[in-house]
Amino acid sequence: MLNQFVAPDLYPAAPEIFLLAMACVILFVDLLASQRRWITPFLSVASLVGAALLTVLTASEFSVLTFSNTYINDALSSFLKLLTYLSVATALIYGRGYLRERNLDKGEYYLLALFATLGMMVMISANHFLVMYLGIELLSLSLYAMVAMDRESVRATEAAMKYFVLGALASGLLLYGMSMVYGATGSLEISVVAQALEQGAVNKTVLVFGLVFLVSGIAFKLGVVPFHMWIPDVYHGAPTSVTLFIGSAPKLAGYALAIRFLVSGLLDLAVHWQTMLLILAVFSIVLGNLAAIAQTNIKRMLAYSTISHMGFMLLALTAGVQGGNTTLAFPAYITALYYVVAYVLMALASFGMIILLSRKGFEAEELEDFKGLNKRSPWFALMMLILMFSLAGIPFFIGFWAKFAVLTVVVASGKVAVAVFAVIMSLIGAFYYLRVVKCMYFDSPRDMTPIQAGADLRILLSINSLAVALLGVFPQKVIFLCQYVLVRTF
């Protein structure tokens, strides 16, 4: 038996190994250098940069498998990982001052963030149902702890509990679904499952039964109706820097989860999962937009807006296959990828704005706190204006192109009625984004306290928001990149 053992090729997983090693190093450094508080954040961002370099170095033209075919390194994984580093690093930089003012900038925060990143990387590169599960758990457990970082806050603790209980339930659903897939196909390796399906010698009833649980699990992780219950509470209860973290990079991993399971693994069942996703998407768009109107807390409002945006993303995934015809598959999955990228960019900046307006002893999380921002800081009012109109899908901002691309694939797949429905809902959505603009521009400020935020936050946030505008004026590059990545992958 021993001579059959082959040492796995570690090269394709070099970024993950590096990040893990760095996390352990930072753990020690943080203990030793507890007086120098800048060291941990600095090292964390540096390790992300290092991981990015390694990812670029190990990126390959073709898909490379390792660890007995359970781990994959392809164009999609490299692309999503790079975006994940970028988004995590941005979130860490945005949150630094916020955490310091609240005495939350402990080393654990950065470590948990790094472990969460590792979890996302594992998810992104998983070629095996169980490896995916490991990634999800690593990510989720880190996030539960991050939400509860502020021990004194009752709301945060409650949110963490709720997140944990529901998250555990979703993990259970996923595992149950996987067991069905294993029962039907005899394997949990994604490519083997796909082959088994293609050959047709599988029990479809069992598979579809399992699929229901898989889709539920995915829906939970993405936070779409009816598995969205945790989103408003967690977004609202968690410290804003954590909300920012949860609201951005994990969506990229969520996309990877959906693509690896549903497209790489179970594409032959597309008819079934497309219907399920369509229902989830439609309800998410309705509930997300309607419930957001009623919110006065901007974190909660953005939470509901996330739900509707993820619904839109799923809408794109439902357009891929029509009765065995897969000509739309590429456009549909490219669109979904583009949508996620655009959304993460916008979400980062909009939660960043909340952090920007907060200061020691003051959380700028009510809608009213944005009142009169144009008088306090015309520049950042303009940035928020860009973000809100972009989220509402108004041109010339990136959010418009994301929405446009989704509508195009949905209409192309013959679901004109769904498209009309979606645009009517996004009209309702426009209302609450406009309300933020109204507060900033039409109302008088409640207090004229100047904005107290570090230069790093100000500059990065401005770049982030301007990117939302500029990538809306010149959308071609990002769309092309998404196209390139997916064509290389499949």
- Residues in the site for another protein, rule: CB under 8 A? 374, 378, 385, 389, 394-396, 400-401, 404-405, 407-408, 411-412, 416, 419-420, 423-424, 426-427, 430-431, 434, 437-438, 441-442, 475-476, 479-480, 483
Q: Rounded to the nearest whole angstrom, what is the least distance from the CB of residue 382 to another protein in the complex? A: 8
363: left (phi over 0), alpha (psi -120 to 50) or beta: beta
Q: Yes or no: say if 114 and 60 are a contact pair by the CB < 8 Å rule.
A: no
Chain centroid to Cα 34, Å, comes to 31
Structure tokens at 226: 């009816």
- CB of residue 386 vs another protein: minimum separation in angstroms? 10
Q: Which is nearer to another protein, 292 or 394 (CB)?
A: 394
Which residues have CB under 8 Å from 168's CB, separation 6+?
none
The phi and psi torsions of 453 (rounded to 5 degrees) equal -155, 150
Residues 6+ apart with CB under 8 A from 298: 354, 365, 366, 367, 369, 370, 436
Residue 369 identity (one-letter amino acid): D
- Return d(Cα 407, Cα 416) in angstroms, integer: 9
Residue nearer to another protein on the CB measure, 159 or 419 = 419
Instruction: Choose between 423 and 459: whose C-beta lies nearer to another protein.
Output: 423
**Whether the Cβ atoms of residue 30 and residue 37 lie closer than 8 Å to each other:** no
C-beta closer to another protein: residue 93 or 386: 386
Q: To the nearest whole angstrom, how small is the minimum distance from the Cβ of residue 396 to another protein?
A: 5
Assign residue 225 a region (left: φ > 0; alpha: ψ between -120 and 50; beta: otherwise).
beta
Minimum Å gap between C-beta 305 and another protein is 17
The nearest distance, CB 394 to another protein, in angstroms, is 6
How are the residues of the chain apportioned to helix, strand and coil, as percentages rounded to the nearest 5? 75, 5, 20
Q: How far is the CB of 356 from another protein (least distance, A)?
A: 20
Distance of alpha carbon 82 from its chain centroid, rounded?
13
- C-beta of 406: minimal distance to another protein in Å? 10
SS3 397: coil
To another protein, the closest distance from the beta carbon of 311 in angstroms equals 16
Q: Based on CB atoms, which residue is closest to another protein, 107 or 372?
A: 372
Which of 343/389 has CB closer to another protein?
A: 389
Question: Between residues 351 and 441, which has the closer beta carbon with respect to another protein?
Answer: 441
Return d(Cα 59, Cα 80) in angstroms, integer.
Answer: 12
Rounded distance between C-alpha atoms, residue 118 and residue 114, angstroms = 6
- Token output for 14: 């070099």
State which residue, 308 or 426, has the beta carbon closest to another protein. 426
Name the burial class of residue 487, with classes exposed (0-12), middle (13-18) and buried (19+) by CB atoms within 10 angstroms of its CB: exposed
Q: Which lies closer to another protein via its Cβ, residue 216 or residue 374? A: 374
Cβ atoms of residues 199 and 209 within 8 Å: no
Shortest CB 353 distance to another protein, Å: 18
